[in-house]
Structure 1
Amino acid sequence: MKLISRLFYICMFMACAMAAHAQQLQDLKTILDAQKNNPVIEIPPGQYQLNNMANGAYLFANLNNVEIKGYGASIVCNSQELALRFLNCTNIKISGFSIDYDPLCFTQGVIVAKDPANLWYEVEIDPGYPVENLRNSRVQFYDPNTRQLKRNSITTTEGYYSAFQRIGTTRRFRLTKNNAWVAYEKVGDLVVLDVVSTKANPAAHAFQLEKCVNARVEDVTIYGSNSFSFFERDCRGTHYNRCKVGRGPVAPGMPARLRSSNADGIHSSLASIGPLVENCDIKHNGDDCIIVCGRSFPICRIDSATKSIYILAREANLVFYTGDTLQHVLYAGTKSGKMKVQAVENYTPTEAERLAVVAMYQDLLFKANYTRGARIILDTLPAMGIGDMIYNESHTGKGFVIRNNKVGYNRSRGILIKSSNGIVHDNEITGTAMNGLLVGPEVHWMGGGFADHVEIRNNRFFECMFEKTNQGMPPGVLSVFCANGLGEVPAAGAFGQINVHHNTIEKSPYPGIVFTSVTGLQYSSNVVVPYPCTSREHGKKYNVNFSMPVWQKNNTQ
């Protein structure tokens, strides 16, 4: 009873302290509104509340040659949704502040009970952490001794559970499995769950750039997000320098945080010129740390007479502009011809078209969502077939540079590249449950593109690929890997001109390095240190050899 009373008073104290703290915070919108049209917008040192519950994200639109700086400023959002949005801005600099959330975007606790038949477990939420609006959309297990992600375990999602319920008005929740799967969880392990806004359809991410040119983001720290921490879409030449995604501070008496953002750290999508990401520290987030990507689309109809193709999509607002270069990829997974966009129109595919195409991609995710599309009129129409893919080569982040960053301690990849004409060098990648660095289009995500002219050098990998074996997952700590719609490794020609040298891999399972489907592969002076560890068979379905430091398939030099 004494322990229960003590915990009760601790929780009450922290709740009162946090409420008082929130009342003391200055209103950020007032500070920013007062400086509209200024060439320099300053956020003075101090703590500020961004009332995105009432007002949504703060929007900076159509700025040119403006600097927003806040050295010594901390921004706290009161709703788990987008904080700052930058739209159609050119030559802006954003620097020197942190973003956090209260309530947090996640909660955490400890497994206090578990079914002997392995069909359910119960979690007691830690003092000071949210107990309202919890979701089991991303459930992660942590080692109580290291407070890092549990080795030989997995991240689970709603599809793994048949029920998720609070037990009365307590801080305890029961998660009932849909079958007796195992994440090797046990009583005493730590668990992290998502927390969502009470608003309907809250905007995702924390910091977002859209259609911005030459934005410079420097010394910005993000401690939480309902999805990505930094997200850019359809931008050009963004520079991230000394930015951080990490586990934030806690009130006295609260256990230290286990997670930072709920998903990716820095996510660059559909850039016309890729980002320069340097000197950043991206760790403990719920998905990939740094990603540069475009989008691929399967072809559902071809009209030779008008030089038109019709594509399937699962999202709106597709990025295609007149004059863009499209890359054609055969269904078998190798690149073919290129063509220019003449015009684009919206198109709603028929149910027959949709079903015919999604059936060709056995591992395609979110199949039911491929209900949108576009008609693209081209300057030329190479030979192609239904089920082939195209991606907008002009918007995959070509020209990216990822250097001198420290990333890791996350459930997926440290760095993920779906782009060309770029370099990844002198990074430290530590504690990634999946690949430390993956170069690959991930056809099951319809990711784009298929890399060409990419250099990977002087990177250091440590304790990667520790997740529970997934035989369909891309193998390798440093991996250049492709699987086509049939789940087969394509012939050489998915990738081109890949140069990999002077990288070091330690405390990670074999194979340390994987290359598939590359035309013009060059690699040398890479070191994979042998490491006896729990057996992993990631990629077994592709007939990977797990006794070799380097595994290759279908490459030419």
Structure 2
Amino acid sequence: MKLTSAFFHLCMLMACAIVAQARQLPDLKTILDPQKNNPVIEIPAGKYQLNNMVNGAYLFANLNNVEIRGNGASIICNSQELAFRFLNCTNIKISGFSIDYDPLCFTQGVIVAKDPGNTWFEVEIDPGYPIENVRNARVQFYDPNTRQLKRNSITTGEGHYSAFQHITGTRRFRLTKNNPWVAYEKVGDLVVLDVVSTKANPAAHAFQLEKCVNATVEDVTIYGSNSFSFFERDCRGTHYNRCKVGRGPVAPGMPARLRSGNADGIHSSLASIGPLVENCDIKHNGDDCIIVCGRSFPICRIDSATNSIYLLSREGNLVFYAGDTLQHVLFAGIKSGKAKVQAFEPYTPSVAERQAVMAMYPELLFQANYTRGARITLDTLPAMAIGDMIYNESHTGKGFVIRNNKVGYNRSRGILIKSSNGIVHDNEITGTAMNGILVGPEIHWMGGGFADHVEIRHNRLFECMFEKTNPGMPPGALSVFCANGPQIPSAGAFGQINVHHNTIQKSPYPGMVFTSVIGLQQSANNVAPYPCGSREHGKRFNTVFTVPVWEKNNTP
């Protein structure tokens, strides 16, 4: 229905009033600063502005046995960047508040025009939503009737478009495709796009723990983020309880929000002991809901005289410590020997070293960014070759527990595991465009962690794998899957995987997929038939689509 000019003007006035109100909120920094040395830090009930536009993220560093009580407070950030950073903290508890953004970290609207030749479409932004600093980094299509992600569609990014234009004097954006790809979008569909900070290189995520031990995060709600909502890196034993990532409130007259955070909900990376995530509600975010992972690195040089290996990396600040255990993985994707770190130092790989490895990994993402590296001296040097992989087994989140959570309504996976010695149980996973539960190292991401001793039980999966068919995507609503390029490794990528008493409904066959496992046990799982038309996710791996469970290269 077309808005009248009077109603449109009213919506704009209300939106401006909300922005003005946010600017008049009490400043949170003046509440927190005087309490820096207190064993209990109180945020009184109320609504506050966190002025991260001027001050950046609020930093809590080197806290020990401190409790931060939110008392139900609402915290509004005025820049689409990190809100809170916790660094080198031990035995802290953070509870009882919500984080939101004004301006939001995304905007949304409706497709009002589309080229019959399928080369462009135009989006009219909804009243009250931002039209400044809009980007096409993550463009998602929603059904106008359900207001959920559009079925049999895809999420697109900047690489899908040759042009992105704000039409002067309007609330419209035109997105011109780089080729006539199909997301089955049509006039009337809803679209979400990213909104970015005006600051150069704004810090990513909303809530970050780094090098923290035994942190408890309880009853914290995040309604938006420029990337991950909750992010932890190099932590130990974090406990998330009753946390939420969800679609936030709107002012009267504004259409309801379509998205929560722009990327992952809870992302645990490189933990020495994995997180306990329980009773959380993680939905409507722009990528995976819950992920536990490490990081893998291709080997570019070997020096047997000094027991040293040289690794390629696309990031700095790598997590390796003396005494850590490294897992060696053959290029074929099978785990091999282990070794201990004796020394670690940064290393800049040569062009020839980079080219040699990239030739072996043509599907590796972000290849141009693999300009850094590390030299690691080991206590012993397993037999290995250029192109094999290494990951830090001591920092993959081993010992994780993911239980009693409700996740979904997102464009990718509900729960993604790249770790070992953990359990995923009694979770409810609904409406994931990709796998509901995926256990896999994702070699093209160098995600790290080839799982061992993982139990998956009593989970309920409903309406997963609804994205448009992707022949290269891991198949299965519940999937334990490894592939290097088109090749599925023989048994040995995973070990001792036990999957039982899970139910899968309204998801395409095969509902469960298991590959490359030594010691696979599966029993008492229920996969309901669901004739959903053409869905051939994973076709490049010769997946069989007529059976509830598909296995390849496993041993008992």
TM-score of the two chains, using structure 2 as the length reference:
0.99
Q: Compute the displacement of 1:457 (Å).
A: 0.1
Q: Which residue of 2 aligns with 1:488?
A: 487
Cα separation, partners in 2 of 1:139 and 1:201, compared to 1, 3 Å: same
* 1:408 aligned partner: 408
Alpha-carbon shift at residue 519 of structure 1 (Å): 0.2
The 5-angstrom pairing of residues 98-137 of structure 1 reads 98-137=98-137
Residue in structure 2 matched with residue 158 of structure 1 by the alignment: 158
Local SS of the residue matching 1:146: coil
CA distance in 2, matches of 1:168, 1:139: 21
Measured in 2, the distance between the counterparts of 1:91 and 1:99 equals 22
Quote the offset at 1:199 in angstroms: 0.1
Give the root-mean-square deviation of aligned CA atoms: 0.8
Amino acid at match of 2:175: L
Match of 1:509 in 2: 508
Q: Superposition pairs for residues 427-442 of structure 1, below 5 Å?
A: 427-442=427-442
How far does residue 287 in structure 1 lie from its aligned partner after superposition? Answer: 0.1
Question: In structure 1, what residue type is equivalent to 2:534?
Answer: S
Question: Which SS does the other structure have where 2:295 is aligned?
Answer: strand
1:498 has 2:497 as partner: yes
What is aligned with 2:65? 65
- Bigger shift: residues 64-73 or 267-276: 64-73
Query: Does the 8 Å CA contact 1:270/1:395 hold for their aligned counterparts?
Result: yes
TM-superposed CA distance for 1:345, in Å, is 1.0
Deviations 1:428-486 (A, max 9, x none): 000000000000000000011000000000000000000000000000000000002x4
Structure 1 residue 543 corresponds to structure 2 residue 535 = no
Q: Which amino acid aligns with 2:6?
A: R
Letter of the aligned partner of 1:512 in structure 2? G
Partner residue in 1 for 2:45: 45
Q: Which one-letter code corresponds to 2:509 in the other structure? A: Y
Q: 1:383 to 1:181 in 2, by over 3 A?
A: same
Q: 1:496–1:3: structure 2 CA closer, same or farther, 3 Å change rule? A: closer
| Cα offset, 1:14, TM superposition | 1.6
The match for 2:526 is 527
Tell me which residue corresponds to 2:79: 79
Question: Could you tell me how far 1:15 is from its partner in structure 2?
Answer: 2.9
CA distance in 1, matches of 2:200, 2:464: 38
Question: 2: CA distance between counterparts of 1:259 and 1:495?
Answer: 35
Distance 1:147 1:195 in 2: 20
Whichever residue aligns with residue 505 of structure 1, its letter is I
Q: Residues 262 and 286 of structure 1 are in contact (CA less than 8 Å); yes or no, is this contact kept in structure 2?
A: yes
Q: 2:13 & 2:332 partners in 1: Cα distance?
A: 62
Deviation at 1:104?
0.1
Q: Which residue of 2 aligns with 1:349?
A: 349
CA deviation vs aligned residue, 1:242-279 (integer Å, no higher than 9, x gap): 00000000001000000000000000000000000000
Maintained 8 Å contact 2:105/2:226: yes
Instruction: Give the aligned partner of residue 290 of structure 1.
Output: 290
For residues 75-107 of structure 1, the C-alpha deviation after alignment (integer angstroms, 9 at most, x for no partner) is 000000000000000000000000000000000
**What are the within-5 Å matches in structure 2 for residues 249-264 of structure 1?**
249-264=249-264
- Structure 1: how far apart are the matches of 2:467 and 2:10? 36
Distance across 1 between alignment mates of 2:228 and 2:338: 32
CA contact (8 A) 1:108 1:192 kept: yes
Identity of aligned residues (%): 86
CA distance in structure 2 between the partners assigned to 1:123 and 1:346 by the alignment: 46
CA distance in 1 between counterparts of 2:12 and 2:513 reads 53
Q: CA deviation at 1:427?
A: 0.1
The residue type paired with residue 306 of structure 1 is T
5 Å-filtered alignment, 1:321-332, equals 321-332=321-332
CA distance, structure 2, for counterparts of residue 416 and residue 22 of structure 1: 36
Query: Equivalents in 2 of 1:203, 1:126: separation in Å?
Result: 27
Residue type at the aligned position of 1:233: R
Between stretches 486-495 and 416-425, larger displacement belongs to: 486-495
In structure 2, what residue type is equivalent to 1:125? Answer: I
Runs of 5+ in structure 1 lacking a partner? none
Distance in 2 separating the partners of 1:333 and 1:24 = 56
Distance in 1 between residues matched to 2:237 and 2:359, nearest whole Å: 38
Query: CA contact under 8 A between 2:66 and 2:93: conserved in structure 1?
Result: yes
Q: How does 1:39-438 map to 2 (within 5 A)?
A: 39-438=39-438
What is the TM-score of this pair, normalised by structure 1? Answer: 0.99
How far the C-alpha of 1:3 sits from its partner, in A, is: 4.5
Q: Is the 8 A contact 1:283 1:407 kept in 2?
A: yes
User: 1:362–1:487: 8 Å Cα contact kept in structure 2?
Assistant: no
Instruction: Show structure 2 runs of 5+ residues with no match.
Output: none
SS of alignment partner, residue 54 of structure 1: helix
Q: Any idea what the Cα deviations from partners look like across 1:295-338, whole Å, max 9, x if unmatched? A: 00000000000000000000000000000000000000000000
Deviations 1:178-236 (A, max 9, x none): 00000000000000000000000000000000000000000000000000000000000
Paired residue secondary structure (1:175): strand
C-alpha displacement of 1:54: 0.2
Is the CA contact (8 Å cut-off) linking 1:407 and 1:428 kept in structure 2?
yes
Deviation digits for residues 25-53 of structure 1, max 9, x if unmatched?
A: 11000000011100000001000000000
Cα distance in 2 for partners of 1:72, 1:272 equals: 31
Query: 1 CA distance for matches of 2:22 and 2:403?
Result: 38
Structure 2 CA distance for aligned equivalents of residues 3 and 432 of structure 1: 33
Is 1:28–2:31 an aligned residue pair?
A: no
Alpha-carbon distance, 1:7 to partner: 3.7
CA contact (8 A) 2:400 2:423 kept: yes
Corresponding letter in the other structure for 1:196: V
In structure 1, C-alpha distance between the alignment counterparts of 2:463 and 2:490, rounded to whole Å: 31
Deviation, 1:4, is 4.2
Q: Name the CA distance, whole Å, in 1 between partners of 2:309 and 2:507.
A: 45
What secondary structure is seen at the aligned counterpart in 2 of 1:137? strand
User: Moved runs in structure 1, 4+ residues, more than 6 A?
Assistant: none
- For residues 128 and 55 of structure 1, the distance between their equivalents in structure 2, rounded to whole angstroms, comes to 26
Distance 2:113 2:32 in 1: 49
Q: Please name the residue that 2:446 is paired with.
A: 446
How far residue 23 of structure 1 moved from its aligned partner, in angstroms, is 3.3
Contact 2:19 2:102 in 1 (8 A): no
Q: Does the 8 Å CA contact 1:110/1:125 hold for their aligned counterparts?
A: yes
Conserved? CA contact 2:15–2:251, under 8 Å: no
Aligned residue-pair number: 555
How far apart, in 1, do the equivalents of 2:467 and 2:346 lie? 41
Conserved 8 A contact 2:246-2:260? yes
